[in-house]
């Protein structure tokens, strides 16, 4: 994943939403790994962004 196409992920949402959602998910991944004593070989941000690209997670905008 060098330069993913963000248009398919954003679907009319602001890029800021993707940044915030990715950061929150990366924190969750990091915290889960710490709790389980698991060693992560990839950066949590990369793992989180991959989840959004694959459609495993969706961006929800708060109102």
Give the ranges where the chain is alpha helix by DSSP (H).
7-10, 15-36, 44-54
Q: How confident is the model at residue 1 (pLDDT cuts 50, 70, 90)?
A: low
Residue 42 has pLDDT above 90, yes or no: yes
Q: Is the pLDDT of residue 46 over 80?
A: yes
The closest alpha carbon to 10, from 59, 56, 62, 63, belongs to 59
Q: pTM of the predicted model, to two decimals?
A: 0.80
Domain ranges for the chain: 7-54
Would you say residue 20 has pLDDT above 70?
Answer: yes
């Amino acid at each position: 994943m060098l330069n993913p196409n963000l248009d398919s992920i954003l679907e009319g949402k602001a890029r800021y939403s993707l940044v915030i959602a990715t950061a929150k998910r990366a924190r969750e991944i990091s915290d889960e790994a710490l709790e389980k004593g698991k060693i992560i070989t990839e950066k949590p941000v990369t793992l989180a962004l991959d989840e959004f690209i694959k459609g495993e997670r969706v961006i929800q905008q708060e109102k």
